[in-house]
């Protein structure tokens, strides 16, 4: 059971790194609204093959290098409105 928890935690960590890479691209940053950002989750399993053949290339690594830009923190619409009026 502890191995399953470790596997799930590792998968969420890798998925989080993959999401950060996508969100660091300016094209995606412009397309996503605040509602889209609230709907993002690292709990997806489409990249997992629980049955079948696993072809491991031990000479290649996943490109999980440092992210160029970190997504901005989430704020409520009311806080964003207040921040916009204070700067004017």
Calpha distance 79→86 (Å, rounded): 11
- Residues 23-65: pLDDT tens digits? 888 888 888 888 888 888 877 777 677 676 667 777 877 776 7
Calpha distance 19→31 (Å, rounded): 15
Calpha distance 36→76 (Å, rounded): 13
Mean pLDDT over 57-86 rounds to 67
């Amino acid at each position: 059971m502890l191995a399953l928890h470790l596997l799930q935690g590792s998968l969420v960590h890798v998925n989080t790194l993959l999401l950060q890479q996508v969100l660091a691209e300016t094209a995606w940053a412009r397309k996503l609204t605040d509602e889209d950002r609230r709907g993002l989750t690292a709990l997806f399993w489409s990249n997992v093959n629980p049955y079948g053949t696993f072809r491991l290339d031990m000479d290649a690594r996943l490109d999980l290098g440092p992210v160029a830009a970190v997504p901005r923190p989430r704020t409520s619409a009311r806080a964003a409105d207040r921040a916009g009026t204070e700067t004017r």
